[in-house]
Structure 1
Amino acid sequence: MIEKYRQQFNASFTEEKYNQLLEKLGEGFPVIPFRVAETPIFIPQALKEKLIAAGEEIISLIKQDNFKELTQNAIPQQWNVPNETSHPHFLTFDYGLCKDEKGEITPMLIEMQGFPSLYGFQSHLANTYKEVFNLDDKLSPYFNGLDENSYFELFKKVVVGDYAPHEVALMDVDAPNQKTAIDFFITAKHLGIKILALEDISKEGNQLFYEENGLKIQLKRIYNRLIFDEIAENTDIFKNSFDPREELDTEWITHPNWFYRISKYTMPFLKSEFVPETRFLNTVEIIPTDLENYVLKPLFSFAGMGVIIDVTETDIKQITDPENWILQRKVVYEPLIQAPDAGVKAEIRMMYLWPEGEEPQLCINLGRLSRGKMIGVRYNADFDWVGGSIGLMEAF
């Protein structure tokens, strides 16, 4: 969207360079099973300022004294984990790129999470785009004056804290084989921490341990990448390891309850020009007559599963648990990213780190390009110039 960079990029783009990008991204790492887009997003200053402003409005709600009270019903009873922290350590806000009534580019909030994203991979992706496509040195994916070194210093401060790196581990069910494993390995490389699958961890009393070279090491902090929604039907996996819902002498970064507190559940409480009208379905007394302008979303789902785009009155009446759904005015994505053949829609995820005892800091971003009906890999399988990307901005 910064026209000079878009023109330069498209004029010099070749499939050979794109293949070089993919090859270089994967060097020394596991195979990347998700699609990486052909291009970064060039974010102009005006849009950057709106993205920052939108995030500040959301954070002001999260920092309200009554936020936990507002979101007390967000956490499913079966997934309520003890010893919740006073605030999350990660915030991610997803915005669709649209045009307002003045024809200006504006972000509209789509989704939000108090959960980590690809904090390691996105830096690697930005570096690789810049190197392979010989992009201008002043283009940066970072905010708040950060560069690669200061960004990873902050990231390590949040995740490792005052512990020794070997006392901290990134944990997921089968971490080395997850779709986002490349992010795990990049993170471990920069932070010096372990990558552990759930079954690599054992419990003695209320303490957790893992083994390395025949030694038993106490795990004092978990960088949590386990999403409970993904294993809801398979809680037997805890039998060979530990149950996160028990009282444990281990810290969570970030605590699992924040995944639910900061989520679609939060959106009805937000009133902003950057947030589409959103209501809990059980509070909708009169069904709108223009349902074609709405989308119906389950509160407890992951990666777009269960979302009803073309909503009908029958869909609404068939829902037996309306307190677990939201009705949201549709966001109309504008095809703003110029591919060689047509415009492509885009979403930008703003990614924050929140150190203990400090303020949340906007650090880096993630982009996703789409030609399909929805953003996401499964909806764009047959297209090019779609997939994971990153926003680059001029560092003044």
Structure 2
Amino acid sequence: MIPEIRQQYNESFSNEKYQALLAEIEKDFPSQLDFRVAETPVFVPQSLKIRLLQACNDIIDSLLKDDFKAWTIRAIPANQHVPNEDNHPNFLAIDFAVCRDENGDLTPQLIELQGFPSLYGYQWYIGQKYKKFFYNPKNFNQYFNRLNMATYVEFMKKVFLGGEKAENVILLEIYPEKQKTRLDFEITKQLWGIESVCYTKIKKDGRKLYYEKDGRKIKIKRIYNRLIFDDLLQNFPDLETDFKLTDDVDVKWVTHPNWFFRISKFTLPLLNSPFVPKSYYLSELKEYPADLENYVLKPLFSFAGSGVKLNFTKEDLDAIEDKENFLIQRKVKYEPIIKDPDGNLIKTEIRMLFAWEDSAPRPTLVTNLARLSRGEMIGVNFNKNFDWVGGSCGFFED
């Protein structure tokens, strides 16, 4: 995106350096890396940065409207409603495709948003590795709001722990040691002392929750939630546990599970911004757009892109029985703007990562995540057997 920076980076790049980066990750965290690390960070010019910040503010303004909760109550399935919801999520992730506008300028277009945490530990870690092993231009930063590598850790500690002891805060997942994101869990433990605890290991006594460590029974006061209902219901429908997610228990959720549904694909039709493609609930369309080829079909309640259809017909839509669970969103055209050393062009998506302290009026933009793709869509299934794709980090021009 910044030709002179890209040229200098590519000239300094070597596969030996890339393999050394991967070897150091393996040394630091043996057998924990389970997703592809892209060969390059994304260098974001100031002009695109300004637009990304504007786009995020437009979206957050919509989330803060007085009637937002009333509009999104039906997003929460009745059998998955968790008691004791708070006023806002503790985390917000907003995904943008990098595109070009009618003037040829780089511009973001919203792809998805989540009231759910992302890789807050891993991004801190991988940003340092890119700087260590590859060309590191001056005046570029992966953090926002005057944060740096150290103050980011301190800020996130306040959000995660909320003043509690680290041993009373857990990271909740189902079989965390098997998850593709387990590297992030391990880094989270090293940075903030938060143990990853399997859903099946939690014990309940009245409204209180406990886990065991080193033969001790430890009370849980805050749950850093990484468990997704959709994953649980689809992959473990008959799982018997002492604690059910929908139980009324004496803990602070970080983030409360209801926000996974409220701030999600369900929210897209409620947003109005030049950086948000038009979206429509399928159940509320009296007639379909004439140019369906310019839309993508998305299930409202799925994760990690499952169920998304890029190509479909009117007949396909008519055949959907539960139309209330789907939307159509106008397609965006990713602009391939990252050039690899062989001259191939690569698409990118940037996820802006926010953290929201319990008492704060607005979330704070803290860092970012980037993903590179040669395929039709961003994601592992569309990028098999390619290089210069996968998870990355954006460095933004000051």
The answer to whether TM tops 0.5 is yes
Q: Per-residue CA shift, 1:106-152, capped at 9, x if unaligned?
A: 00000000000001101111100000114135322101111011111
* Residue in structure 1 matched with residue 56 of structure 2 by the alignment: 55
1:201 alignment partner AA: I
Q: How does 1:122-141 map to 2 (within 5 A)?
A: 122-141=123-142
TM-score by length of 2: 0.97
Q: CA deviation at 1:19?
A: 0.7
SS in 2 for 1:246: coil
* Residue in structure 1 matched with residue 323 of structure 2 by the alignment: 322
Q: How does 1:171-210 map to 2 (within 5 A)?
A: 171-210=172-211
* Residue in structure 2 matched with residue 355 of structure 1 by the alignment: 357
* Residue in structure 1 matched with residue 392 of structure 2 by the alignment: 389
* Residue in structure 1 matched with residue 18 of structure 2 by the alignment: 18
Q: Per-residue CA shift, 1:57-114, capped at 9, x if unaligned?
A: 1111111111100101101111100000110000000000000000000000000000
Q: How does 1:83-102 map to 2 (within 5 A)?
A: 83-102=84-103
Q: CA deviation at 1:13?
A: 1.1
Contact 1:198–1:241 (8 Å) recurs in 2: no
Q: How does 1:1-396 map to 2 (within 5 A)?
A: 1-29=1-29, 30-233=31-234, 234-237=236-239, 239-340=240-341, 341-358=343-360, 359-395=362-398
Contact 1:25–1:124 (8 Å) recurs in 2: no
1:276 alignment partner AA: P
Contact 2:12–2:135 (8 Å) recurs in 1: no
Separation in 2, partners of 1:42, 1:33: 25
Contact 1:81–1:244 (8 Å) recurs in 2: yes
SS in 2 for 1:323: helix
Task: Indicate the larger mover: 203-212 or 21-30.
Answer: 21-30
SS in 2 for 1:149: helix
Q: CA deviation at 1:380?
A: 0.5
Task: Indicate the larger mover: 283-292 or 14-23.
Answer: 283-292
Task: Indicate the larger mover: 105-114 or 125-134.
Answer: 125-134
Q: Per-residue CA shift, 1:212-242, capped at 9, x if unaligned?
A: 22111111111000011111132432x2341
Q: CA deviation at 1:176?
A: 2.1
TM-score by length of 1: 0.97
2:245 alignment partner AA: P
Separation in 2, partners of 1:188, 1:56: 31
1:182 alignment partner AA: L
Q: CA deviation at 1:26?
A: 3.0
Separation in 2, partners of 1:255, 1:70: 18
Q: Per-residue CA shift, 1:235-256, capped at 9, x if unaligned?
A: 432x234101011011110000
2:228 alignment partner AA: I
Separation in 1, partners of 2:44, 2:98: 11
- Counting aligned pairs with the same residue, the percent is 48
2:285 alignment partner AA: V
Q: Per-residue CA shift, 1:276-295, capped at 9, x if unaligned?
A: 01000112222222211111
Contiguous gaps of at least 5 residues in structure 2: none
SS in 2 for 1:72: helix
Separation in 2, partners of 1:112, 1:293: 21
Q: Per-residue CA shift, 1:1-30, capped at 9, x if unaligned?
A: 122221111111111111112122333214
Task: Indicate the larger mover: 111-120 or 378-387.
Answer: 378-387
Contact 2:208–2:219 (8 Å) recurs in 1: yes
Contact 2:49–2:397 (8 Å) recurs in 1: no
Separation in 1, partners of 2:97, 2:59: 16
Separation in 2, partners of 1:64, 1:289: 32
SS in 1 for 2:126: helix
SS in 2 for 1:236: coil
Q: How many residues align?
A: 394
1:371 alignment partner AA: R
Contact 2:175–2:199 (8 Å) recurs in 1: yes
SS in 2 for 1:102: coil
2:15 alignment partner AA: E
SS in 2 for 1:120: helix
Contact 1:207–1:250 (8 Å) recurs in 2: yes
Contiguous gaps of at least 5 residues in structure 1: none
Q: CA RMSD in A?
A: 1.1
